Amino acid sequence: MRGIYHITPSGWAGLAFAAFCFVVLPEISGRLWLSVFTSTGCFVVAIAGVAFVYARLGMVSLTQVGLMGIGGWVTLRLGYYWDLPFEVNVLIAGLVCMVFGCLLALPALRMRGLYLALVTLMAAGGLDIIFVTFQFPNGGEGFWGVAMTGGQQIAGPVLAAGPEGYLRLVVGVALLSFLLIEAHCRTKPGRAWAMIRRSEASAIAVGVNVALYKTWAFAIAGLLGGIAGGLLAGSIGILDAATFRATESIMLFVLAVVGGSRYWLGVVIAATLYKILPALLNNWGVSADLSFVIFGAGLLHAVITAPDGIAKQIYDGVAGSVTKKKQEATRA
């Protein structure tokens, strides 16, 4: 029996990559790259949530950046109100978003999968408007806490000091997120999700409470979105409504599919493309709007011919060369 703690080759690669990001990456990166990697890491956490819901249940969530926004808002709000440690604030933000994730699944729980996607699209549109209207707390008065000129920043994390430490914190959280998802998938919830994806009737027939497990999946995606938003807020200090537009939520989902939603590598590829491709285009003097075109075309390509995304193609490539080497070795 493949035990719960069994580590696959892809898992080893992931752990090695995480170790590299934790130990080496902060040492070799300059100030600018540190902030780029940190925010990429935040988006890795968020995309892990969307990707998992799509890969395991075939459910489409188009609200993830909106949930990040809520997470960021809560973190900032708490940070300005009380003196709780930053980590606690982020965790609370995650839990708040968990509840939002559940609420999101509610209106369409008993309807076709398409409705769920449409509800999340509407939620993304709605949150977009709310963020633009109310903005993010920056130390101002009152509940919304918005002042014309920003005050001092919220307190940083206790566990980590400086931008290097912050990047390590984010890498650690990202690793924990993947482990959380993997642990679910290898146990009872994962089996229930697999049945739901097969068909809801078959899931009911084996005794799965379909509504509960669907909601639970959305709750996990919400938790990760909220934590990602909180970490992003902590790294930048101030948040801007423009970061959390509905377009961005759509983009996150699109990239999760393009990267390969079943694999950690796919999620990392997605986050990297999301943060780095527009910046590269800008550097080359090309409008970043073209990244929309590239992502859109990538999605069509993935949906039509490569449902497991870039990550799967890389895995197949690696697996192919490994067997080739083995064959050569046996021949020699």
Partner 1 sequence: MKWEVWSGWLLWAALMTAILLSLGWGARPQILGLFLASGLAAGSLYALGGIGIVLLYRTTGVLNLSCGAAGAAGAMTTWQLLEWGWYPPATWIIGVLLSLGVTLFYGIVIAPLLAWRDTVVKAVATLGYALIILGLVAFIWIDEPRKLSLPTDSMAIKLMGMRFTVTRLIVIGASVGAVTAIWAYLRYTNMGLQMRALANDRDHSALLGIPIRRVETVAWTISGAFAGFTGIMFADLIRLEVVVITFMVIPSIAAAICGRLENLAVVLVAGISMGVIENLLTLSPTLKGVRPIAPFVIAVIVLFWLQRGKRLTFAERA
Partner 2 sequence: MLEIKDVTVKFGGVTALNAVSASFTQTVAGIIGPNGAGKTTLMNVLSGFVTPVAGAVNRDGQDILTIRPHRRAHWGLRRSFQREEIADDLTTFENVMVQLDHGRAGGGDLRGEVEQALAFVGMSDRAHVHGAELNTFQRRLTDVAKCMVGQPQIVMFDEPAGGLSLDESKHLGGLIRKMGAETGAQVLVIDHDVDLIREICIETLVLDFGERIAFGPTAEVLDDPKVKAAYLGIEEVEA
Residues that bind partner 2 (CB under 8 A): 1-2, 188, 191-192, 194-195, 197-199, 201-210
Binding flag, residue 93, partner 1 (CB under 8 A): no
Among 257, 269, 270, 273, binds partner 1 (CB under 8 A): 257
| CA 85 from centroid of its chain's CA atoms | 23
Binding flag, residue 144, partner 1 (CB under 8 A): no
In the complex, minimum distance from the CB of residue 132 to partner 2, in angstroms, rounded to a whole number: 41
Binding flag, residue 121, partner 1 (CB under 8 A): yes
| Nearby residues of 275 by Cβ (< 8 Å), 6 or more positions away | 36, 39, 40, 43
166 vs 178, beta carbon nearer partner 2? 178
In the complex, minimum distance from the CB of residue 101 to partner 2, in angstroms, rounded to a whole number: 22
In the complex, minimum distance from the CB of residue 105 to partner 1, in angstroms, rounded to a whole number: 12
108 binds, among partner 1, partner 2, none (CB under 5 to 8 A by kind): partner 1
The closest alpha carbon to 263, from 145, 137, 178, 165, belongs to: 178
Q: Which stretch binds partner 1 (CB under 8 A): 78-86, 165-173, 228-236, 239-247?
A: 239-247
84 vs 300, beta carbon nearer partner 1? 300
Binding flag, residue 204, partner 1 (CB under 8 A): yes
**Are 201 and 60 spatial neighbours (Cβ–Cβ below 8 Å)?**
no
Binding flag, residue 211, partner 1 (CB under 8 A): yes
92 vs 127, beta carbon nearer partner 1? 127
**Are 27 and 251 spatial neighbours (Cβ–Cβ below 8 Å)?**
no
Residue with tokens 């039509």: 304
4 vs 332, beta carbon nearer partner 2? 4
Per-residue interface string for the shown chain with partner 1, residues 55-74, x marking contact by CB under 8 A? ---x-x-x------------
22 vs 292, beta carbon nearer partner 1? 292
DSSP-derived letter for residue 43 is: H
Cα-flanking dihedrals φ and ψ of residue 286, to 5°?
-105, 145
58 vs 85, beta carbon nearer partner 2? 58
Q: Residue 139: left if φ>0, alpha if ψ -120 to 50, beta else—which one?
A: left
Q: Is 187 helix (H, G, I), strand (E, B) or coil?
A: coil
Please calculate the CA angle 35-50-202 and round it to the nearest 5 degrees.
160
> What's the CA gap between 69 and 245, in Å, rounded?
9
Number of helices (H), then strands (E), belonging to the chain: the values are: 14, 0
> What's the CA gap between 97 and 79, in Å, rounded?
17
Helix (H), strand (E) at residue 283: helix 264-283
Among 27, 83, 141, 289, binds partner 1 (CB under 8 A): 289
Q: What part of residues 292-331 is at the interface with partner 1 (CB under 8 A)? A: 292-300, 303-304
303 binds, among partner 2, partner 1, none (CB under 5 to 8 A by kind): partner 1
DSSP-derived letter for residue 289 is: T
Residue with tokens 């409705």: 115
Q: Please report, as ranges, the residues that interact with partner 1 according to CB under 8 A.
A: 58, 60, 62, 106-115, 117-119, 121-123, 125-126, 129-130, 133-134, 199-201, 204, 210-211, 245-247, 250-251, 253-254, 257, 287, 289-300, 303-304
